[in-house]
Amino acid sequence: MKFNEIVSKLAEAATDNSLSNNRDPEITGLAALDEAAPGHLSYVEGAKFASLVSQTKASALILPPDKTLQLQAQERGIAWIATSDPRLLFAQAIALFYQPYRPSPEIHPSAVIHPTAKLGQDVYIGAHVVVQQGVEIGNGAIIHPNVVIYPDAKIGDRTTLHANCTIHERTRIGTDCVIHSGTVIGAEGFGFVPTRTGWLKMEQSGYTVLEDHVEVGSNSAIDRPAVGETRVGSHTIIDNLVQIGHGCQIGAGCAIAGQAGLAGGVKVGKRVILAGQSGVSNQVKIGDGAIASAQAGIHHDVAPGEIVSGMPAVPHKLYLKASAIYHRLPEMYQSFRQLQRQLGKK
């Protein structure tokens, strides 16, 4: 595909563009800036990557609106297009060259489908899939091999369930969702009541609901509650190896990174970001737009828009101050010991 053709397809998102030296190179693929070869399109996010612009072998670049970077590319004979968000434009360019594998509609003869299950039009059911009684699968859904769908679950239109994921009873998954391999949706929450003779299991009779356009990474678990529902809001993205406990309520547009864990009954607002290995205690409320940095341990409610860090989590600015002091503790201890000696103490 010619670079000029790519520019025309992406023109609505770009602020400026140039074909340096009237060049219109053939673009055969995309690559990172330091790995690009002739024929590749790459991108630059800011001035800190200027040195790579002088070294890259890419034939074309997506640049920020930075005149210095643009001149640098032009002097090297590299075609470029500028935008305020190069990474976003690069992501859109990838879609011009690559589309995820999407099998044609069919039902594999080894699939086991209960006669009461309802399948929509143009559905793909892969090898060794098990669809139990009362299940409803929407139009254009893709169910990859070895998926098990328990009774009375509902899968929305165009949703994809990747190989070896498990959807438990009465789970509701909306339209255009993606559930990656090994993930378990709607399994029993961790509900046990202590008694004098041991733990009494509390049956988990609730529902797990994923709204539209939710994506869940591999080997994650979203549990159902004893009563009520666990709900994940629309357009929320969940990474690999994430645990979402029973009865959690997660708002729309959230991002939860790998190895994060939410205990039961957590309420998360809209557009919240929970970074990798962050943990949230029982019944905590996190307000809209809040951010928890990596490995944050959240034991108390977080206000809307607040950024928290550390274990236990505190406001990020306070965390930075505390971290600076922490690194000076050996020096401070020596000063303290010296002061003790001056005061005649052991």
Residues annotated as part of the active site: 246
Amino acid letter, residue 322: A
Distance of CA 251 to the CA centre of its chain: 14
* CB-based contacts of 89-98 (< 8 A; 24+ apart in sequence): 89/10, 89/13, 89/14, 89/43, 89/62, 90/30, 90/41, 90/42, 90/43, 90/62, 92/10, 92/13, 93/6, 93/10, 93/30, 93/41, 93/62, 94/30, 96/1, 96/6, 96/9, 97/1, 97/29, 97/30
> Across-strand partners of 256?
238, 274
d(CA 176, CA 196): 48
Count of residues making up the chain: 346
Q: 3-class SS at 238?
A: strand
> Within 10 A of 343 (CB to CB), how many other CB atoms are there?
7
d(CA 143, CA 172): 15
H/E stretch holding 323 reads helix 316-327
H/E stretch holding 54 reads none
